[in-house]
Amino acid sequence: MSHTAHFFTRLAREPGVLVTVDGTQGSVPREAGAWMAVFADAVAGTVGGGHLEFDAIAQARQLLPAAVLGAAAAQVRRYALGPSLGQCCGGVVHLRFEAVSAADLPALRQRLFQHTRPVALFGGGHVGKALVRLLGALPFDVHWIDSRDEIFPAEVPANVRCEHSDPVQAAVASLAAGSQVMIMSFSHAEDLDVVAACLKRQRERGDLSTIGLIGSKSKWAAFRHRLEARGFQADDLAQVTCPIGVPGITGKEPEVIAVAVAAQLLLTTPEG
* Tens digits of residue pLDDT in 43-62: 999 998 888 999 999 999 99
Contact indicator for 41, 10 with CB cutoff of 8 Å: no
CB atoms under 10 Å from CB of 89, counted, come to 18
Burial class (CB in 10 A: 0-12, 13-18, 19+), 112: buried
Contact indicator for 195, 206 with CB cutoff of 8 Å: no
Q: Which tens digits make up the pLDDT trace of 115-145?
A: 689 999 999 999 999 999 999 888 899 999 9
Mean pLDDT over all residues of the chain? 91
Given a cut of 80, whether residue 69 has pLDDT beyond it is no
Whole-number Å distance between alpha carbons of 141 and 158:
9
pLDDT class of 204 with cuts at 50, 70, 90? very high
Contact indicator for 195, 187 with CB cutoff of 8 Å: no
pTM: 0.76
The torsion angles phi and psi of 236, rounded to 5 degrees, stand at -65, -50
Region of poorest pLDDT, from 87-91, 149-153, 165-169, 176-180 = 87-91
Given a cut of 60, whether residue 31 has pLDDT beyond it is yes
Q: Which tens digits make up the pLDDT trace of 97-113?
A: 999 999 999 899 888 87
- Closest by Cα among 262, 222, 225, 217 to 241: 217
Q: Which tens digits make up the pLDDT trace of 112-122?
A: 876 689 999 99
Which position has the higher pLDDT, 190 or 269? 190
